[in-house]
Amino acid sequence: MTNETQLHPDYSSEKDRLEFTKRYIDVVIQTSQSSKEKFKENMEKAFGDVDWLESSAAYIDILTNASFFEMSKEELEALTKVKKKPYFARIDYSQKGSNKEEKHYIGKTSLYQRENQEQIIVDWRSPIANLYYEGRIGNVSYEVEDEQFEGHLSLKRQYMIEDGELEEIRDIDLTTTDELLQESLAKSSSNRLTEIISTIQEEQNRIIRADLNKSIIVQGAAGSGKTTIALHRISYFIYNYKQHFDPRELMILAPSSLFIDYISEALPELGVEKVRQTTFSEYVMTCLEKQLKLTDDKKLIELIEENEKKTIETSWISGFKGSKTFRKILDTYIEEIEKRFYAKTDFYVDKYRLYSAKKYTHLLREEYTYLPIYRRVEKLKGLLQSYVRSNKKEMVKKVELFYDDKIEKALYQRKHAANRKEYISKALDKKAKRLEDIKKAIRTSVTSYMKQFEKKNLYTYYEELFQDPERLVAYSNGALSLNKSQQLCDYTLKIVKKRKYEMEDLAPLLYLQTYLYGIDKFYKAKNVVIDEAQDYSYLQLYALKRALETDMFTLVGDLAQGIHSYRGLQSWEPVYQDIFPRATYTELQKSYRTTIEIMNEANKLLSKLPYTFPKVNPVVRHGEAPKSITYKTHKDLSLLIEQMVQSGREEGFQTFAVIGKSMVDCVTIAKALEEALPDKVKLLEEQETIPKDRIVVVPSYLSKGLEFDVVMITAVNERFHEENELDVKLQYVAMTRPLHRLYFLSREANQFI
């Protein structure tokens, strides 16, 4: 604790307040574990020795009122977690027209008295806490459910509380630079995702709190806090909609399991651990209720290594299958499939016409369009069955009456006994036969009527789509040449015939499933957060929106890091113009991760990309400039890395990564390092957890989204080429991973851009 803090005029009262809050939390936790009756006793035990509370209105209220702490299990768990740091800020606010100044202590979770609504800790997600993030000292306003409140903000104060002890008090106003942010950024990279609540910046706060009923698209520079914001927005959503939404109705789509592992550390702290976390491919398979055999998604790697001519020649197919043109092809295909379900004949039971083909088709194409095709057919089948059921008796009766009438007439009219007997006996036989026929027709007519319609599964439909290149050209309205169509069909059929699929087939499959068979309600999340959204194709996003029947999406991404752009997005425009027209589009240019020196170098690469991005602004934090070092042998390289890690550790850094362009280079590096430093190195492949205590070796394309204190971009045999867009992006991604230090290690000087 600094002397300055102790000299702060409010030091003593703030210390008391913290003490009070901590003890209070203890009592609530203790009492909830025993019984409510014990509450008063616990309170007296906890506060019996203090006199500074005697006059506190809150304390008196508490004593007379034990019912306030009926908390849910979740609330109690949240409280237990924050005990050592119950709040991080305070604002003093007075409502317009009132001269009463309210002190609000802001923390990760709230604690309040149910009876008089007086809050001991205000949740950072509550409306009034917005003043901490947005409000300047002076006249301010905030909104609660569309109602505007005006007032005056006289104090914004931050606290550093470590292990339950008040370390520092800082009053902030317009002129003070946000020191807490600076300090938070200077820390080493363990557990950082969780620690930003106190330092969320205004532009980030606006995104977190943006209208939850609308989608939002964020183009954010590397390190601008996209992942962090996305997670906090979920937390904010849960807080605001806890009455209406189950957290399981929210879904985070992450780029890989590795990434899920990385963010899941942050989730419990934010109270969002119950949210569904999955990847796009896993989610599609859930919706299809089938574990598909996916081919290895090696295209990117092959493009990086440039050793697969075939991949380069066919990579347009990946892009095409995610395009708007392909969506139109699917739409036409679906329309064509729908037509196959138009009825050709009227529906008869025996000789009775119960339903006309015209009416049937009308229902199918006009009335039931809210249902997927196969469900419409099911519904119509049910409708025919109910017609049969309700006409059954009458049809049987008609037959009976017809024969009974004949028999009766014969009884009176036929004079000759033998003749009459024979006639009646035949009539009875006929009647029995007709009744049998009609009963059989009643049982079978619906099934046999439905036989005119095809019954195929999704995978057959998908395969059939590629069986006729000419038809595809027609469906595409000429956008696809016959030549290309042939190439597309040959390429796809070769795989799907074996019932295998590529990553790029998943969106079309999801789309067809949605329109042909439908998606089970249970799988439909109502609100979706997508990180690294730039790697999604138009069709992936479109299909998701249709499948989930919601447009409440939070999309965060960075086109400059779009290393999958051969199949992903080239621009956000089609997303906000076409898919989510209600969306708000925002750009974040400020980067919090790294130092000015590192960001300046990374910015130089941005200008080599075919986009017009403004330069990324690093938050004012200086560090060492990136260094380039050449080495000769593998042994030299591992020595070099070892030294850097060693000196980094001495400076207090904890996480170290060696990033190579390709996996091939990484394997070489990892081998060399492993020899020098056995058991201290980890080569990171997809689907793995990141060990904190090891030097991580990771290929550039897998390092996206991750961060480390120290990064050593290393080239053995690979080179990053300036004229290759993918290479520029890969190097940019790698360069924006470090928090504090960046080194370039290569055998020759020209291996980096």
Ligand X SMILES: Nc1ncnc2c1ncn2[C@@H]1O[C@H](COP(=O)(O)OP(=O)(O)OP(=O)(O)O)[C@@H](O)[C@H]1O
Binding site per annotation, positions for ATP: 220-227
For ligand X, which stretch binds (CB under 6 A), given 108-116, 221-229, 434-442, 476-484? 221-229
With beta carbons less than 8 A apart as the criterion, state whether 488 and 496 touch. Answer: no
469 vs 618 by CB, closer to ligand X: 618
Taking CB under 6 A as the binding criterion, the range among 68-76, 219-227, 270-278, 671-679 that sits at the site for ligand X is: 219-227
Contacting residue, 321, 434, 593, 661, with ligand X by CB under 6 A: 593
CA distance 85 to 722: 49
For every residue of 574-637, DSSP letters joined together read: HIIIII-TT-EEEEE-EE-SS-HHHHHHHHHHHTTSSS-PPPPEE-S---PPPEEEE-SSHHHH
Q: Tell me if residue 195 falls in helix, strand or coil.
A: coil
**Can residue 220 be called a binding residue for ligand X (CB under 6 A)?**
yes
Cβ-in-10-Å burial (0-12, 13-18, 19+) of 321 comes to buried
Among positions 90, 108, 125, 226, the unique one binding ligand X when judged by CB under 6 A:
226
User: What's the min distance (Å) between Cβ of 719 and ligand X?
Assistant: 23
Minimal distance in Å, beta carbon 158 to ligand X? 12
Comparing CB distances to ligand X, the nearer of 193 and 716 is 193
Is residue 143 within a helix (H) or strand (E), and if so which, with residue range?
strand 138-144
Place of tokens 């630079």: 177
Binding to ligand X by residue 199, rule CB under 6 A? yes
Binder among 31, 130, 224, 731 for ligand X (CB under 6 A): 224
Half-sphere exposure at residue 502, Cβ-oriented, CA atoms within 13 angstroms: 18
Residues 6+ apart with CB under 8 A from 679: none
The distance of closest approach from Cβ of residue 736 to ligand X in the complex, given in angstroms and rounded to an integer, is 5
Residues 84/90, Cβ–Cβ less than 8 Å = no
> Using CB under 6 A, which of 28, 43, 131, 222 touches ligand X?
222
Q: Which of 78, 153, 200, 506 binds ligand X (CB under 6 A)?
A: 200
Nearest distance, CB of residue 613 and ligand X, angstroms: 13
CB of 530 to ligand X, least distance (A): 12
For ligand X, which residue of 45, 81, 152, 192 counts as binding (CB under 6 A)?
A: 192
Of 134-142, 193-201, 276-284, 657-665: span binding ligand X (CB under 6 A):
193-201
Nearer to ligand X, 382 or 614 (CB): 614
Binding residue for ligand X (CB under 6 A) from 130, 204, 514, 668?
204
Smallest distance from ligand X to CB 595, Å: 12
Q: Is 595 exposed, middle or buried (0-12, 13-18, 19+ CB in 10 A)?
A: buried
Residue span binding ligand X (CB under 6 A) among the ranges 46-54, 199-207, 235-243, 486-494: 199-207
Among 642, 534, 537, 561, which residue's Cα sits nearest to residue 218? 534
What are φ and ψ of residue 465, in 5° steps?
Answer: -60, -30
**Interaction mask 435-474, ligand X, x per CB under 6 A:** ----------------------------------------
> Is the Cβ–Cβ distance between 606 and 600 less than 8 Å?
no
**Which residues, 162 to 181, sit near ligand X by CB under 6 A?**
181
Closest CA to 297 of 721, 736, 687: 687
Binding mask 256-295 for ligand X (x = CB under 6 A): ----------------------------------------
If one asks whether residue 119 binds ligand X (CB under 6 A), the answer comes out as no
Nearer residue to ligand X within complex by CB, 98 or 182: 182
Residues touching ligand X, count (CB under 6 A): 25
Residue 201 is a binding residue for ligand X (CB under 6 A): yes
Query: Which parts of 680-739 interact with ligand X (CB under 6 A)?
Result: 705, 707, 736
Candidates 513, 79, 438; CA nearest to 271 is 79
Residue span binding ligand X (CB under 6 A) among the ranges 125-133, 223-231, 508-516, 568-576: 223-231
When asked if residue 592 is in the footprint of ligand X (CB under 6 A), the reply is yes
State the nearest-atom distance from the C-beta of 162 to ligand X, in Å. 17
Nearest residue (CB) to ligand X, 299 versus 740? 740
378: number of Cβ within 10 Å: 15
User: What's the min distance (Å) between Cβ of 593 and ligand X?
Assistant: 4
Greatest distance between any 2 Cα atoms in the chain: 131
Question: By C-beta, is 228 or 668 nearer to ligand X?
Answer: 228
Pair of tokens at residue 372: 């997927």
268 versus 518: smaller Cβ distance to ligand X: 268
Which residue's CB is nearer to ligand X, number 25 or number 602? 602
Closest distance between ligand X and the C-beta of residue 200, in Å?
5
Report the distance separating Cα 262 and Cα 428, nearest Å.
81
255 is an interface residue for ligand X by CB under 6 A: no
How far apart are alpha carbons 388 and 395 in whole angstroms? 9
Exposed e or buried b per residue across 148-185, where buried means at least 16 C-beta atoms within 10 angstroms of its C-beta: eeebbbeebbbbbbeeeebebbbebeeeeeeebbeeeb
Minimum CB distance to ligand X, residue 526 (Å): 24
Cβ 229 to ligand X, closest distance in Å? Answer: 7
Distance, CA of 464 to CA of 474 (rounded, Å): 15
Residue from 14, 505, 558, 665 that binds ligand X (CB under 6 A)? 558
Classify the C-alpha dihedral 727-728-729-735 as positive or negative. Answer: positive
* Residue ranges in 630-716 assigned as alpha helix (H): 634-650, 663-676
59, 47 Cβ separation under 8 angstroms? yes
Residue 509 or 698 having the CB closest to ligand X: 698
Q: Which is nearer to ligand X, 86 or 705 (CB)?
A: 705
Q: Please state the closest distance from residue 568 (CB atom) to ligand X, in A.
A: 14
Say if CB 505 and CB 289 are below 8 A apart: no
**Beta partners for 553?**
528
| Residue 111: CB minimum distance to ligand X, A | 24
Q: Is 185 in the site for ligand X (CB under 6 A)?
A: yes
Comparison of 181 and 681: residue with beta carbon closer to ligand X:
181
Question: Quick check: 223 and 744 in contact, CB under 8 A?
Answer: no
**Residue 217 to residue 572: CA distance in whole angstroms:** 8
CB of 172 to ligand X, least distance (A): 14
- Which C-beta is closer to ligand X: that of 253 or that of 543? 253
- Determine if 319 is a binding residue for ligand X (CB under 6 A): no
Phi, psi angles (nearest 5°) of residue 347: -95, 120
Taking contact as CB under 6 A, which single stretch among the options 13-21, 217-225, 499-507, 633-641 is the one that binds ligand X?
A: 217-225
Exposure string over 645-684, b if 16+ CB within 10 A, otherwise e: beebeeeebebbbbbbbbbbbbbbbbebbbeeeeeebbbb
**Which residue number, 209 or 321, has a Cβ lying nearer to ligand X?**
209
Q: Which residues on adjacent β-strands are paired with residue 580?
A: none
Among 21, 119, 158, 227, binds ligand X (CB under 6 A): 227
CB 481 within 8 A of CB 528: no
Binding residues: 220-227
Give min distance, CB of 262 to ligand X, in A: 9
- Rounded Cα distance between 137 and 176, Å, is 12
Which C-beta is closer to ligand X: that of 221 or that of 695?
221
Task: Summarize as ranges the residues that interact with ligand X (CB under 6 A).
Answer: 181, 184-185, 192-193, 196, 199-201, 204, 220, 222-228, 558, 561, 592-593, 705, 707, 736
